[in-house]
Amino acid sequence: MSERVIAITGGHGALGHAVLSAARNTGLKIAVIDHAMGNPVPQGVLALGGVDLTDPKQAEGAITGVISRFGRLDVLLNIAGGFVWQTVDDTASAWDRMHALNVSTALNASRAALPYLKASDEGRIVNIGSAAALKPGAGMGAYGAAKAGVHALTQALAEELKSTRVTVNAVLPSIIDTPANRKDMPSADPAAWVAPADLAAVILFLASPESRAMTGALVPVTGRV
């Protein structure tokens, strides 16, 4: 995968950091796009902070920044997203927020990246769905609906791009072993969860030329949950 250029949205989060670490070992040229500002990145990695991917113009500007630095884009990893636990009878506005953070960010980044991905010999988009969207439990309605939207976006865009060399797939993790999840669920066994490094390995396979036979796939990555 040497010389290929990969853009990671949400690259400063726990999963984004794991993907960044793994991608560096493959020889990829890397850009990190995130709303967070000022987080350190390894030398040679392009960091674009303060980007609100729910705004199409800011998404377009970020992708333009990647092209300005590297001259090409081969892979877009839509890792940016958000989670909230909220019951349906709660009147807070989690539904719109979850849609914006999970669906709109992936949509806007993908739209901005498509012209450059189509120019690649092996263009790739990898989205982050959720196993919870397949059968949402209590308090998972807003999040599950948003991730179901990511699944639909993945499959629809994959169909639309079948005449090109761009593939679009999504991973569907269960609980990821992050510091935040350990804090929120102190009595759970994190050994049963999905390690970020293991999920990163699946994501990078879908980002690689070797995954060319897969498009529109929703790939469960559920550990032992």
Q: What is the pLDDT of residues 92-123, one digit of tens each?
A: 789 999 999 999 999 999 999 999 999 999 99
User: Is 116 noted as a catalytic residue in this protein?
Assistant: no
Tell me the residue type at 178.
T
Among the listed residues 70, 83, 143, 193, the single catalytic one is: 143
Q: Classify the C-alpha dihedral 16-18-21-22 as positive or negative.
A: negative
Q: What is the pTM of this model?
A: 0.95
- Residue-wise pLDDT tens for the chain (225 aa)? 558 999 999 999 999 999 999 999 888 999 999 998 867 888 899 999 999 999 999 999 999 999 999 999 999 999 999 999 999 998 778 999 999 999 999 999 999 999 999 999 999 999 999 999 999 999 999 999 999 999 999 999 999 999 999 999 999 999 999 999 999 899 998 999 999 999 999 999 999 999 999 999 999 999 876
* Angstrom distance (rounded) from CA 73 to CA 210: 17
Q: Give the rounded distance of the alpha carbon of 103 from its chain centre.
A: 10
